[in-house]
Amino acid sequence: MFGYVYDEDENPLKSVTVEIDGDDYSDSGKTDGDGYYKFEEVPAGDYIVTYTKTGYETQTQDVTVEEGDEAQLESVTMPAVQKGTIYGYVTDIKGDPIESVRLKLTGIGTKTKKSTSTDSDGFFEFTDLEPGTYRIMAKKKFYKAAQKTVVVEEGEDVEIEIEMNETRSRILPG
């Protein structure tokens, strides 16, 4: 059983995990630099072939292998996953923007970690995010840390607001 895997621009995709799963036989491997994969001596039977690679939509196809058949499979095209964005503002309890807040984004169940700071308008943005759930922690001196959990769907831009409370009143010079 063999075949090729490409991206949407018909470029070969390297290091795609290819898994074949049947009633009595299963195996897995990776594509080479030409997007090519091959499984030797696959017994006759019905199989589900699954193609996975980070940043791309998982693809599957049903395959029947006949006795003594080489089984050249149709080429598979894997569309890129559309990335998302989380953006918004950090404000105090009166709704005024807070500048220079440190924000850390952590993917829940992923290895994604990013950080940024708010600008003078209290604005922040995390771009190029895979679909998933993220936790954002906001910290600034004299404010209580704030946390928000956000779900990003494929290609979605999510706007949020994070409200921070002061830890104590500051005496301003008069």
Extract long-range pairs of 142-151: CB within 8 Å, 24+ residues apart.
142/166, 142/167, 142/168, 142/170, 143/92, 143/98, 143/101, 143/167, 146/90, 149/108, 150/86
Which residues on adjacent β-strands are paired with residue 63? 47
How much is the pLDDT for 154?
A: 87
Q: How far apart are CA 140 and CA 157, in angstroms?
A: 25
The residue type at 169: S
The ranges assigned to domains in the chain are 2-77, 84-163
3-12, 64-73, 128-137, 146-155, range with the lowest pLDDT: 64-73
**Taking the CA atoms of the chain, what radius of gyration do you get in angstroms?**
24
pLDDT band, residue 81 (cuts 50/70/90): confident
Is there a shared CATH topology between the 2-77 domain and the 84-163 domain?
Answer: yes
CATH level 2 (architecture), domain 84-163:
Sandwich (2.60)
Residue 128 has pLDDT above 70, yes or no: yes
Residue 159 has pLDDT above 60, yes or no: yes
Averaged pLDDT for residues 142-170: 92
Model's pTM, two decimal places? 0.62
Q: At 108, which helix (H) or strand (E)?
A: strand 102-108
CATH of domain 2-77: 2.60.40.1120
Question: Which two three-digit tokens encode residue 36?
Answer: 């090519």
